[in-house]
Structure 1
Amino acid sequence: MSVVRSVNNWIAYRRTVAELGRLDRRALQDIGITRDEIHAFARTTATR
């Protein structure tokens, strides 16, 4: 994996964590994740 791709994945991961972290419990429940699952969800989506 190139350095640029790694950096872009890291940026996408941090952005996803930040955006999901701003949501309340109910909004997270609507999309099917819990607060405990935010980091795992961000990891899987950032590498797509």
Structure 2
Amino acid sequence: MAAAHQISAVSVASPVGFLNALLVKFTRYRLYRQTVNELSALSGRELADLGLSRCEIKRVAYQAAYENN
């Protein structure tokens, strides 16, 4: 019973924290998708100038959105 009370207290006590975490996840995903879309629009030559190949686009986008923050 005490554990259930603690869980509900945490859920009700921090809706702002939950919304902030949700906003951060949404913002990071949006950055990931934008990066994938922009890099995918480049030609093979432009990607080569950047030192990338098509198979690296998702990895680079993931690093930009999630690992460099």
TM superposition score normalised by structure 2: 0.65
Gapped regions of structure 1 (runs ≥ 5): none
How far has the Cα of 1:2 moved from its partner?
1.0
Q: How many residues align?
A: 48
4+ runs deviating over 4 angstroms: none
Percent identity between the two aligned chains: 33
Superposed CA RMSD: 1.3
Instruction: From the CA coordinates, give the structure whose radius of gyration is larger.
Output: 2
TM superposition score normalised by structure 1: 0.91
More helix per residue:
2
Gapped regions of structure 2 (runs ≥ 5): 1-19
